[in-house]
Amino acid sequence: MIKRMAKETALNYAKQYCDMHGLSFNKLSNLTYLQLSDQGAFCGEPDEEGRGLTNDIASQYKPILFVEPTGNISETRFTTQFLR
C-alpha cells in the first residue's frame, strides 16, 4: 500500500535533517514539493521551459532531497549545490 505524505510532514522531517547536516532549511522550504508514489521530493526549478523532446533533460525538475513517510531522507547530487 502506498503511503502519501503531506508537505508539512516532509518539511518537519527535512528540518531535522537540515539542522543535523548543516543544510539550509530556509532554501529547502522554498523549493517545489512533488509527491511521488511512495515518497516526497523537494526539487529545484528546471533550467529551461519544456519544448517537447528537444530539451527533455534541461526542462526536468532537479531532485534535491527525497523524504520517505518513515522519515528516511536521501540526498542527490544536487543537494549541496542547492542547500549550502
CB 78 within 8 A of CB 62: yes
Number of domains in the chain: 1
Q: What's the whole-model pTM score?
A: 0.87
On whether residue 73 sits in a domain, the answer given is no
Residue 56 above 90 pLDDT?
no
The mean pLDDT of 48-74, rounded to a whole number, is: 88
Phi-psi region of 3 (alpha: psi -120 to 50; beta: other; left: phi over 0): beta
- Between 40 and 57, the higher pLDDT residue: 40
On whether residue 53 sits in a domain, the answer given is yes
On whether residue 17 sits in a domain, the answer given is yes
On whether residue 51 sits in a domain, the answer given is yes
On whether residue 74 sits in a domain, the answer given is no
Q: For residue 3, name the pLDDT band (cuts at 50, 70, 90).
A: low
Domain of residue 43, residue span: 1-60
